[in-house]
C-alpha cells in the first residue's frame, strides 16, 4: 500500500519472533486526523502466533483496533461469510467476519504465498474497491535474516 494513495495518517508495526523472523506486519490507518484509527490491516505469515485464535474470538487486527479505540466492550465473531471478488484477472475469496459490534467491519483473505491479510475497519464498511488500493508486501519481508 502506498501512503500517498490515501489521505490521513498511516503507521506500521512489526510482530517480531524470538528468532528474528517477522511474525506479522500491521498497518494502522487514521483517517480522522488524530482522533483514532479508522482501519488496521494485518499481514500474518503461516505459523504466526497472532493467527492462532479460539473459535468465536475476533482476529488480532480487530482486537488491536478495539484497543486503540479504548473500546473494552466484549466483542465476538458471530459468523464468517465467503464472498468471491474479482481483483484484476484474479478471483479472490474474501471471508467477511461478522462481529457482535456492528461498527466493526472485518475481511480476511489468503495470499498465494500463505500470508493471511486481515482488514478491520471502524464505523465504515469495507467495499470491494478497497482491494484495488492494496499492494502486497514482499514475501521476503517475513523471512529470517
SS (H, E, C) 19-37: CCCEEEEEEEEECCCCCCC
Query: Does the predicted TM-score (pTM) go above 0.85?
Result: no
77-87 and 90-99 as β-strands: parallel, antiparallel, unpaired? antiparallel
Q: Are 27 and 10 in contact (CB under 8 A)?
A: yes
Residue 19 falls within a domain, yes or no? Answer: yes
Residue 15 falls within a domain, yes or no? Answer: yes
How many structural domains does the chain have? Answer: 1
Report the sign of the C-alpha dihedral through residues 118, 122, 125, 127, in that order: negative
Q: Measured between alpha carbons, how far is 65 from 36 in angstroms, rounded to an integer?
A: 9
- CA quadruple 83, 99, 45, 134: dihedral, nearest 10: 60
Q: Measured between alpha carbons, how far is 33 from 35 in angstroms, rounded to an integer?
A: 6
pLDDT of 113: 84
Q: Are 61 and 40 in contact (CB under 8 A)?
A: yes
Q: Measured between alpha carbons, how far is 72 from 75 in angstroms, rounded to an integer?
A: 9
- CA quadruple 40, 121, 131, 58: dihedral, nearest 10: 70
Q: Measured between alpha carbons, how far is 107 from 117 in angstroms, rounded to an integer?
A: 8
Residue 142 falls within a domain, yes or no? Answer: no
Residue 131 falls within a domain, yes or no? Answer: yes
Q: Measured between alpha carbons, how far is 12 from 44 in angstroms, rounded to an integer?
A: 13
Residue 76 falls within a domain, yes or no? Answer: yes
Q: Are 61 and 106 in contact (CB under 8 A)?
A: yes
Residue 24 falls within a domain, yes or no? Answer: yes
Q: What are the pLDDT tens digits along the chain (145 aa)?
A: 455 555 566 677 778 877 777 788 877 777 655 555 678 888 898 888 889 999 999 999 999 889 888 888 999 999 999 988 887 777 888 999 999 999 999 999 988 888 899 999 988 888 877 766 665 556 565 555 4
Residue 141 falls within a domain, yes or no? Answer: no
Look up the domain containing 91 and give its range. 3-136
Amino acid at each position: 500500500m502506498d501512503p500517498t494513495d490515501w489521505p490521513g495518517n498511516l503507521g506500521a508495526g512489526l510482530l517480531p519472533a524470538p528468532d528474528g523472523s517477522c511474525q506479522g506486519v500491521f498497518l494502522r490507518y487514521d483517517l480522522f486526523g488524530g482522533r483514532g484509527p479508522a482501519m488496521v490491516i494485518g499481514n500474518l505469515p503461516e505459523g504466526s502466533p497472532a493467527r492462532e485464535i479460539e473459535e468465536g474470538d475476533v482476529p488480532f487486527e480487530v482486537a488491536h483496533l478495539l484497543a486503540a479505540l479504548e473500546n473494552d466492550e466484549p466483542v465476538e465473531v458471530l459468523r464468517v461469510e465467503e464472498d468471491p471478488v474479482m481483483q484484476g484477472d484474479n478471483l479472490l475469496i474474501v471471508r467477511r467476519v461478522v462481529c457482535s459490534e456492528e461498527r466493526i467491519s472485518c475481511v480476511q483473505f489468503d495470499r498465494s504465498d500463505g500470508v493471511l491479510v486481515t482488514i478491520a475497519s471502524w464505523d465504515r464498511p469495507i467495499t470491494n474497491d478497497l482491494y484495488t488500493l492494496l499492494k502486497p508486501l514482499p514475501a521476503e519481508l517475513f523471512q529470517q535474516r
